[in-house]
Amino acid sequence: MGGGAAGASAAQFARKENRSAAIHIFEASTHPEYSRCGLPYALSGEIPSFESLIEYSEEWFQRNKINLHLSTKVVDINASQKTLAFEGAEGDEKAGYDSLIFTTGASPSIPKIESVSAGDRLRKGVFLFRGMDDAKSLKEWCESRARKVLIVGAGLVGLECAEALHKLGHQITVVEYLESVLPMMIDPDMADPLLSEMIKAGIEIKTFAAVESVFGGKDVEGARIRNRNDDHSEELSCDTVILTTGQRPLTSLALAAGCALGRHGHIKVDDRCETNVPGIFAAGDCSEYKDMITKREMPVGMGSLAVKMGEIAGRNAVGGDVRLLAGFLNSRVTKLFGIEIAAVGPLSTELSAAEIKYIQSRVKGSTLPAYYPGGKDLLMKLTASREDVRLLSCQIMGKEGCGHRANVIGALISAGRSAQDLAMLETTYAPPVAPCVDVITTAAQAILIKSRRAGPSG
């Protein structure tokens, strides 16, 4: 159920695994699978049309003998009889199944802000930014005239939205409840290079602040924002509000089918992407799986994980036996205002919450050797176990070359390797491509120096 990234990936790999299985996808919206991650770039116009985000067309599903039911909603599941009921364009029906995959995704959460809604709908001028319809409505709204936009939430979606609308010439203020931008992606002390680029670009940013209310007549005229440090409130004039404060998994059908939820209220799965109910699988934003380092469940919130889980769930649902690695690295990257920001592994606060003792190095480097023109600064933070310098996480930012460097660290983390192994790892070197001693090597050497100073028990 659900034809997003996880659902389409599940169907694709189920078909690869099993040529004869009958495969059905039930999708409530009118869209076949498209890249949600691409929406900000279609909003800005960098990608010419929303339609070019469609990765699996209706024709593709037909060719692969996958029955895609658009505008169709599953309304009931009977897990003991293995049947489900659905309503849709083709009428109301009932069907049996051998296995079931929940790829129901999530819906955007709506923060508690006074007057943000009118009845059970958001008021005019207030937008969400999750699906293609949200993005299209927002684009249409913003095309009519220059807007003063308030974005609530400085996570990935909020900032990607901010950049897109800034490119289109709108005036942007971003308000973040927590102390720094991208709070689920990087530690606060790594946000500076991004913040400085955003400020240079003319974006107004308020962190550790809460949007208390939206005001105005028929149209939004402004919002009241409270500084959480000093409790001082101020009014900000704006005509558009975009809510990007996270999402809630869609789990009601899974609950009805007897599936257990995890620590974060998402459907809990094992390394086969199977729920506690045999034959029922889940993948993508509606699910949670353990973190590789903390071993605690973490909610899935990225397209890349949804696709990987879809593959595993799809294959296993039709008789395969494949498994995820022993936890997620949460490998993540974005590019905002010319700064590439990448990370793998838990945030420092997550490590502390899991009572993992760590040491960290924070080093600067360059994408190219000092003597070669055009090198770009890199800032990297590497974290290793205090006990045995096993690699735990890294965060890296600069104008380019960050995501790939994070992947190298991710590969070593996934293999349980240490800062010593990283320090000794060969990295490719050529003056126009990368320096002889890469920043990832320097970061590992710095960890080893710290570790020697601290002694093995810290």
Rule CB under 8 A: which residues touch a copy of itself? 5, 35, 37-38, 41, 46-47, 52-53, 55, 302-305, 307-308, 323-325, 328-335, 340, 342, 344, 369-373, 401-408, 410-412, 414-417, 421, 424-434, 436-437
Q: Which is nearer to a copy of itself, 72 or 441 (CB)?
A: 441
- In angstroms, what is the minimal distance from the CB of 206 to a copy of itself? 25
Q: Which is nearer to a copy of itself, 173 or 294 (CB)?
A: 294
- In angstroms, what is the minimal distance from the CB of 80 to a copy of itself? 33
- In angstroms, the CA 422 to CA 427 distance is 10
Q: Where are the beta strands (DSSP E) in 283-441?
A: 287-290, 297-299, 332-336, 339-344, 358-366, 377-385, 391-398
- In angstroms, the CA 406 to CA 384 distance is 14
- Where does 275-383 have alpha helices with state H? 303-317, 348-353
Q: Which is nearer to a copy of itself, 139 or 308 (CB)?
A: 308
Q: Which is nearer to a copy of itself, 75 or 424 (CB)?
A: 424
- In angstroms, what is the minimal distance from the CB of 411 to a copy of itself? 4
Cross-strand bridge partners of residue 84: 77, 95
- In angstroms, what is the minimal distance from the CB of 145 to a copy of itself? 27
CB-based contacts of 144, cutoff 8 Å, min separation 6: none
Question: Which CA distances in Å does 40 have to 43, 108, 255?
Answer: 5, 16, 32
In the block, residue with structure tokens 């004039």: 237
Q: Which is nearer to a copy of itself, 286 or 312 (CB)?
A: 312
- In the structure encoding, which two tokens stand for residue 450, read together? 């710290």
333: nearest Cα among 403, 407, 423, 251: 403
- In angstroms, what is the minimal distance from the CB of 176 to a copy of itself? 20
Q: Which is nearer to a copy of itself, 166 or 332 (CB)?
A: 332
Residue 421, exposed/middle/buried by CB under 10 A (0-12, 13-18, 19+)?
Answer: middle
Q: Which is nearer to a copy of itself, 42 or 253 (CB)?
A: 42
- CB of 378 within 8 A of CB of 365? yes
- In angstroms, what is the minimal distance from the CB of 39 to a copy of itself? 9
- In angstroms, what is the minimal distance from the CB of 301 to a copy of itself? 12
> 3-class SS at 6?
helix
